[in-house]
Amino acid sequence: MIEVNFDGLVGPSHNYAGLSLGNIASATHAGMVSAPREAALQGLAKMRRMMALGLPQGLLLPHDRPDAAWLRRMGFAGDDMTVCRAAWAHEPGLLRNAFSASAMWTANAATVSPRPDSVDGRLHLSVANLASMPHRSIEAQQTTRQLRLLFAPMPRAMVHDPLPASFGDEGAANHMRLCADHGQEGLEIFVHGSGPSGGFPARQSATASQGLVRRHGLRHALLARQSDEAIAAGAFHNDVVAVANETVLFTHEQAFAERDALYAAIRQQLPQVEIIEVPAARVSLQEAIASYLFNSQLVTLSDGAMLLLLPGEAREVPAVMAWLEDLLATNGPIRRLEFMTLRESMRNGGGPACLRLRVALEERELPLLDQRFLLDEAKADALESLVTRHWPQHIAPEDIGNPDLWQQCWTARAALLDMLGFHAEEL
Residues 6+ apart with CB under 8 A from 133: 19, 20, 21, 203
Give backbone dihedrals phi and psi of 310, rounded to 5 degrees, phi first.
Answer: -110, 155
The residues annotated as belonging to the active site are 170, 237, 354
Distance CA 178, CA 403 (A): 48
The distance of Cα 20 from the centroid of its chain, to the nearest Å, equals 14
Distances (CA, A) of 294 to 68, 167, 236, 276: 36, 26, 13, 11
Residues 6+ apart with CB under 8 A from 34: 14, 15, 16, 344, 347, 348, 394, 395
